[in-house]
């Protein structure tokens, strides 16, 4: 039987979905939990929790090193996650998918294995003002060691990348461009296809930080036209300590290993070691096998929901939450991009973000406060911190109402 196209599926049944996430039923400080910190890390459906549990109960062994039954099962779970990720991001080949501990490791792998051997004094890496520190600091570390520089393309007051400026800054010294797909602070969706086209015209490889995109939209690395794409499992329903780097095969073949150890070699002699082909060349040591069993389950869950339905639901929730916040006096929202994922950064006039977050927590509301690992962006907006409500497809309008009421109560306490 053919699967129904997503557009013919009934709208998302949020109560049924919530029943799949055990943690959403708990209370915090005797109040029902309202979990609006999804950009930080997402909650896990039962199928993911059970996949991890089942792995340890029934299949636990190390990967690739054993010919016994359990070793084969563990290897199948781990390699199955690679297949699932390749399918999820539309990679042309599973061998172009390196399994990592998350985006931070994925980007550092590119920094040390791709950029470090290539960059020299006078070269530049181009990034943007809205990046997470994970897409800034590795480039600074590599720049320090090579004499290269890190440049940042500006954004406008709405929190959108000024694409013309980005393109103007793609000068011949730029040897790598690194851009987030979606801002973790503002929700801004960057026009990656256009950026990738401009990079390609100039022969500049493009790395995309997909941490905040993969939980919300279908990813097709071939259609995007980038060279490297990094994702992190824990923001897309999967366990912490899992993630992936996709890279074009031509880059992977030219990259030396970043970590050395077991599982990444073909032959080791003291006269010299022959490394395995990608992806194993980049996967030294024992990985988070149980975590990757959870990644496969998370991807299956997301595919079951379907991104058409998920997106329609989340966009409606974002519009509802934005309007509700705007109705409150003294609220300043950061990030008004035309295309946004469901992330709202804001401040209440006269109140410190951390005080607000602490008091909201006492009302059962989990939001993040602080700089969100994006100091340059805070600097751009001239604030040390914001509050961030980041929504997921298992959140509801009733929770948004509860959140807005909680802000009202907190305001009374603070003012």
Which one of the spans 87-95, 98-106, 195-203, 286-294 is the region binding ligand PLP (CB under 6 A)? 98-106
Instruction: Report the residue from 75, 108, 184, 369 that binds ligand PLP according to the rule CB under 6 A.
Output: 184
How many residues bind ligand PLP (CB under 6 A)? The answer is: 13
Which one of the spans 129-137, 156-164, 245-253, 278-286 is the region binding ligand PLP (CB under 6 A)? 129-137
- Among positions 186-225, residues that touch ligand PLP (CB under 6 A) are 209, 211-212
Which one of the spans 9-17, 96-104, 116-124, 193-201 is the region binding ligand PLP (CB under 6 A)? 96-104
Q: Which is nearer to ligand PLP, 75 or 180 (CB)?
A: 180
Determine if 38 is a binding residue for ligand PLP (CB under 6 A). no
- 233 class by beta-carbon count within 10 Å (0-12 exposed, 13-18 middle, 19+ buried): buried
Tokens 């469901």: give the residue.
Answer: 342
Closest CA to 375 of 162, 146, 136: 136
Residue 373 falls in the annotated catalytic set: yes
d(CA 334, CA 117): 38
Which one of the spans 4-12, 130-138, 189-197, 355-363 is the region binding ligand PLP (CB under 6 A)? 130-138
Determine if 180 is a binding residue for ligand PLP (CB under 6 A). yes
Q: What is the DSSP string of 323-373?
A: HHHHTSTTEEEE---SSB-SEEEEEETTS-HHHHHHHHHHTTEE-EEE-TT
Q: Which is nearer to ligand PLP, 41 or 354 (CB)?
A: 41
Reading phi first (left if > 0) and then psi (alpha if -120 to 50, else beta), residue 410 is in: alpha
Residue 173: strand, helix, or coil: coil
State both tokens at 184: 């973790």
d(CA 208, CA 312): 24
Burial readout 165-192 (b: 16 or more C-beta within 10 A, e: otherwise): ebbebbeeebbbbbbbbbbbbbbbbbbb
Q: Which is nearer to ligand PLP, 74 or 231 (CB)?
A: 231
Q: Which is nearer to ligand PLP, 187 or 402 (CB)?
A: 187
Q: Which is nearer to ligand PLP, 128 or 232 (CB)?
A: 232
Residues sharing a CB contact under 8 Å with residue 76, sequence separation 6 or more, in sequence order: none
Q: Which is nearer to ligand PLP, 187 or 364 (CB)?
A: 187
Determine if 82 is a binding residue for ligand PLP (CB under 6 A). no
d(CA 157, CA 208): 23
Determine if 341 is a binding residue for ligand PLP (CB under 6 A). no
Determine if 103 is a binding residue for ligand PLP (CB under 6 A). yes
- Measured from the CB of residue 130, what is the shortest distance to ligand PLP in angstroms? 9
Which one of the spans 128-136, 262-270, 272-280, 352-360 is the region binding ligand PLP (CB under 6 A)? 128-136
- Among positions 222-281, residues that touch ligand PLP (CB under 6 A) are 232, 234
Instruction: Report the residue from 77, 110, 134, 284 that binds ligand PLP according to the rule CB under 6 A.
Output: 134
- Residue pair 389/375 in contact (Cβ under 8 Å)? The answer is no
- Residue pair 393/14 in contact (Cβ under 8 Å)? The answer is yes
Residue 202: strand, helix, or coil: coil
Active-site residues, by number, are 373
Binding site for ligand PLP (CB under 6 A): 102-104, 132, 134-135, 180, 184, 209, 211-212, 232, 234
């Amino acid at each position: 039987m053919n699967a129904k196209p997503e557009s013919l599926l009934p709208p998302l049944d949020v109560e049924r979905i919530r029943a799949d996430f055990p943690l959403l039923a708990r209370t915090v400080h005797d109040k029902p939990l309202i979990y609006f910190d999804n950009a930080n890390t997402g909650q896990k459906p039962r199928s993911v929790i059970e996949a991890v549990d089942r792995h340890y109960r029934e299949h636990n062994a190390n990967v690739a090193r054993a010919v016994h039954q359990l070793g084969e099962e563990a290897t199948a779970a781990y390699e199955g996650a690679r297949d699932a990720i390749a399918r999820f991001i539309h990679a042309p080949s599973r061998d172009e998918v390196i399994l990592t501990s998350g985006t931070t490791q994925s980007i550092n792998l590119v920094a040390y294995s791709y950029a470090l051997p290539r960059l020299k004094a006078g070269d530049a890496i181009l990034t943007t003002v809205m990046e997470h520190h994970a897409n800034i600091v590795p480039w600074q570390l590599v720049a320090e060691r090579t004499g290269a520089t890190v440049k940042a393309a500006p954004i406008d007051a709405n929190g959108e990348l000024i694409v013309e400026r980005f393109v103007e800054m793609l000068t011949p010294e730029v040897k790598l461009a690194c851009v987030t797909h979606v801002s973790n602070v503002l929700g801004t969706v960057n026009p990656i296809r256009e950026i990738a086209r401009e990079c390609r015209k100039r022969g500049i490889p493009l790395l995309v930080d997909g941490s905040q995109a993969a939980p919300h939209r279908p990813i097709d690395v071939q259609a995007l036209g980038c060279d490297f794409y990094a994702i992190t499992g824990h923001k897309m329903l999967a366990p912490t300590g899992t993630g992936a780097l996709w890279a074009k095969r031509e880059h992977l073949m030219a990259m030396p290993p970043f970590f050395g150890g077991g599982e990444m070699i073909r032959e080791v002699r003291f006269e010299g070691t022959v490394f395995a082909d990608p992806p194993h060349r980049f996967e030294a040591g024992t990985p988070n096998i149980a975590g990757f069993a959870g990644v496969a389950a998370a991807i299956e869950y997301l595919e079951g929901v379907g991104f058409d339905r998920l997106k329609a639901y989340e966009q409606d929730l974002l519009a509802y939450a934005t309007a509700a916040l705007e109705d409150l006096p003294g609220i300043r929202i950061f990030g008004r991009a035309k295309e946004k994922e469901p992330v709202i950064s804001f401040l209440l006039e006269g109140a410190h973000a951390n005080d607000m977050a602490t008091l909201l927590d006492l009302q059962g509301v989990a939001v993040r406060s602080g700089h969100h690992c994006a100091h340059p962006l805070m600097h751009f907006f001239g604030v040390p911190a914001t509050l961030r409500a980041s929504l997921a497809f298992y959140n509801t309008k009733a929770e948004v109402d509860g959140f807005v009421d909680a802000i009202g109560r907190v305001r009374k306490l603070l003012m």
